[in-house]
């Protein structure tokens, strides 16, 4: 199960692994693309990005998501993202 912030719901939602649409392994962490029940596509970061201080985690998460977004064949442009907490 994943707890992620959904921009359409405007709150955190609990989603099962069945909602995972793609997994991207980057140098800064694993980016999981999840589809919410309302259709919102959310990127969240896990794995190596969760090591270190809060500032390190935030930086790693931003870099991991940026790396995935630079690969336009993997993520449509309208996919949102969730911050790591
Ligand atoms: Zn939602």
Domain parsing of the chain, residue ranges: 2-81
pTM for the complete prediction?
0.72
Instruction: Kindly give the distance from the C-alpha atom of residue 24 to the centroid of ligand 1, in angstroms, as a whole number.
Output: 21
Residue 59 CA to residue 40 CA, distance in Å, equals 24
Residues 6+ apart with CB under 8 A from 82: 4, 5, 6, 42, 43, 44
Instruction: Kindly give the distance from the C-alpha atom of residue 1 to the centroid of ligand 1, in angstroms, as a whole number.
Output: 15
Higher pLDDT, 72 or 17: 17
With residue 60 as reference, give the H or E element that holds it. Answer: helix 54-69
Instruction: Kindly give the distance from the C-alpha atom of residue 27 to the centroid of ligand 1, in angstroms, as a whole number.
Output: 28
Q: 16-20, 45-49, 59-63: lowest mean pLDDT where?
A: 45-49
Instruction: Kindly give the distance from the C-alpha atom of residue 50 to the centroid of ligand 1, in angstroms, as a whole number.
Output: 23
Residue 85 CA to residue 82 CA, distance in Å, equals 9
Q: What's residue 85's pLDDT?
A: 46
Instruction: Kindly give the distance from the C-alpha atom of residue 13 to the centroid of ligand 1, in angstroms, as a whole number.
Output: 7
């Amino acid at each position: 199960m994943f707890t992620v912030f959904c921009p359409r719901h405007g709150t955190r939602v609990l989603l099962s692994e069945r909602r995972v649409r793609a997994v991207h392994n980057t140098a800064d962490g694993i980016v999981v693309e999840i589809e919410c029940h309302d259709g919102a596509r959310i990127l969240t970061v896990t794995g190596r990005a969760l090591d270190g201080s809060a500032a390190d985690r935030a930086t790693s998460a931003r870099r991991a998501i940026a790396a995935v977004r630079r690969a336009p064949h993997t993520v449509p442009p309208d996919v949102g993202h969730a911050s790591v907490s």
